[in-house]
Chain A
Amino acid sequence: MKPYPGRRLALPALCLPAAAQAHSFGKIYNLPVPFWLYVYGAAAALLVSFVVVAYFASAAPETQERDGGRNIGDANWVRLLRRCHVLTLLKAGSAGCLLLCIASGLFGAANPYTNINMTLFWIIFVLVFTYLTALFGEVYVAINPWRLLARGVGRLWPNYLQGRRSYPPRLAWWPALLLYFAFIWIELFAFTRPYSLALILSAYTLLNLAAVWWVGEQAWFRHGELFAVFLHLVAKMAPLDYRPELQGAARLRLRAPFAGLLESTAPHGTMLLFVLFMLSSTAFDGLHDTAPWMRLFWIDLYGRLKPWVGDNPLAAYPILRPWYEAWATLCLAASPFLYAGVYLLFIRLSKFAAGSVLTVRELGLRFAYTLLPIALVYNITHYYTLVLSQGSKILSLVSDPLGLDWNLFGTALWLRAPIIPNAGTVWHTQVGLIVFGHVVSVYLAHLEALRCFPGRRAAALSQLPMLLLMVLFTTFGLWILSQPIRPG
């Protein structure tokens, strides 16, 4: 960690407990990636990108890889699952988990580490379930607890699920984007506790029920419910394509991993912003824990504000704290638009390089999903140690969900010490995953380019700016991982 002048100034501010919280819940026991490994990751991403370009340039796969995958909805193991009523069990489990999160928050212990709802929601649902969705597809569409609740209401109240009016097309995916922003803000700044989490989840449940009443079930869960939109995007990367609305064997399809990203394109600019926010919010989460970020506000900006707030940092802290929060919120809100500006600039260069007649907007939408692998690996590298250290606690928590010293299933004492993988292992996995996600994105973007632009040459040329963009995103992700985390 490099000492920097004036660091002394920031110390009183950083020592106050509220400022020292890294994440709303759970401690991340990561050390910054060493510099040489950061350089390795960036160089590896660049080198392998050119191998991908060379592969496509040497001889393009003429058979437009419209491999539709294989329908396996009638396979024996799928039938076996159906016979065991797995879906019904999952539905019950999902609705039960939501109710448990609310009930345990209202009636259980106030300590976030002994009440199950913090771990169940922040770790198991938000992180683990996302990674499972990337593997097993969009099971969430069938077991979404809020959708199940809405359907329950629909049984008692005819015409409830149809909605009062049709969904205004102008709204597009704005509701999901706004809710996603609110969600990330709560995750980073609200310091939820079991009780407040229960209140937030109750409010979100009411919001969903009201929205279904207003615009109807189909429209709301397509455009509004944030986890439905988020997991729908994540599921495009899964090798299993689950579509419960279809009949027979087509309900479940096996395809190449990540191939689903090329089966459709972003339907609207707000969806592009949603995808970019997946990238930028994780980057922001990483960035706002680092020393350079804290330095920006608490040293650089504070230095300029001194004439107004005074020389004593302890006295200035209470005045500056709300400003710091407003500033961080503003940066978070601006981040997807900043990313969109950079993204569209590179799309414009791409269009120019390929001499395409398609508009920048159209191309921007077509290439949007190819960024999702980078977003997924960002997320995994950032949180997987948290999944190990805090997620493993779920075993003991199920036996004592309210934190009242129960032992319902006899597992209350299991895995009490957190699992902390060796820092060297963590570094190598992080860099390896980031390079992997980068390569997948570059590869997919090239396939998409072959569809958008006439001829191999134009496609290859168009990909040089895109490649630079992805190297930028990847290097930025690596840089964040390599930064010293702010002191204490």
Chain B
Amino acid sequence: MNKRALPFVALAVVMLVGLFIWLRPPAPEPVRQVPASPAPAAAAAAPVPPPEQVYRYQVAGGRRLSGPESILVHAGEVVNLEVTSDRADELHLHGYDLHLQLQPGQPGQLRFTAVHSGRFDFELHHADLELGVLQVLPQ
């Protein structure tokens, strides 16, 4: 790299950083009800437990009868999936690699803290049914 290019590189860096600061959305998400605790990881046992919603699914004949096709949460929140299938099956959440055996007709609950952000499918292995998708936004 020659010397003459340096001011241009500096100019480019200044422009990129300036643009970034200008466009970046203010404050990280005021939506969260949880007061900013010092250690949000391992939030399961935090003094103020985050609001916990149960997402209920009904499956019969290899089809989803009820339940949201997509769940949107923020990282650190507790997710509770409750699945009732008319046949014995296995629930699998990709990425987190969580499995849950389901008994016919009995609701099974998969409860976990959404620590990884990203987009994760969950499916029923025996019915080969993509039940829904969990989207975890970063904090």
What chain A residues lie within 8 Å of B130 (beta carbons)? Answer: 15, 17, 20, 488
Q: Is the interface of A mostly helix, strand, loop or mixed?
A: helix
Chain A min CB distance to B18 (Å): 10
A420/B20 in contact, CB under 8 A:
no
Q: Does A424 contact B (CB under 8 A)?
A: yes
Knowing A47-B15, A488-B69, the reply to whether A423 touches B121 (Cβ < 8 A) is no
CA distance A55 to B24 in the complex (A): 28
CA distance A47 to B75 in the complex (A): 34
A47/B119 in contact, CB under 8 A:
no
Interface of chain A residues 392 through 427 with chain B (CB within 8 A): 416-418, 420, 422-424, 426
Q: Is the interface of B mostly helix, strand, loop or mixed?
A: mixed
Chain B min CB distance to A192 (Å): 17
Knowing A20-B130, A36-B24, A40-B20, the reply to whether A420 touches B118 (Cβ < 8 A) is yes
Q: Does B25 contact A (CB under 8 A)?
A: yes
A51/B15 in contact, CB under 8 A:
yes
B120/A55 in contact, CB under 8 A:
no
Q: Does B91 contact A (CB under 8 A)?
A: no
Chain A interface size, as a band, is 35 or more
Q: Does A381 contact B (CB under 8 A)?
A: no
What chain B residues lie within 8 Å of A420 (beta carbons)? Answer: 95, 116-118
What chain A residues lie within 8 Å of B136 (beta carbons)? Answer: 31, 423
Which of B3-11, B77-85, B99-107 is near enough to bind chain A?
B3-11
What chain A residues lie within 8 Å of B120 (beta carbons)? Answer: 27, 29
A423/B64 in contact, CB under 8 A:
no
B95/A423 in contact, CB under 8 A:
no
B contacts, CB < 8 Å to A: 2, 4-5, 8, 11-12, 15-16, 19-20, 23-25, 63-64, 69-70, 75, 94-97, 116-121, 128-133, 135-138
What are 29 contact pairs spanning A and B, CB under 8 A? A11-B69, A15-B130, A17-B130, A20-B130, A27-B94, A27-B120, A31-B117, A31-B119, A31-B136, A36-B23, A44-B15, A47-B12, A47-B16, A51-B11, A51-B12, A61-B2, A389-B95, A416-B97, A417-B97, A418-B95, A418-B97, A420-B95, A420-B118, A422-B116, A422-B117, A422-B138, A423-B117, A424-B117, A487-B70
A contacts, CB < 8 Å to B: 1, 11, 15, 17, 20, 27-31, 34, 36-37, 39-40, 43-44, 47-48, 51-52, 54-55, 58-59, 61, 385, 389, 416-418, 420, 422-424, 426, 435, 439, 485, 487-488
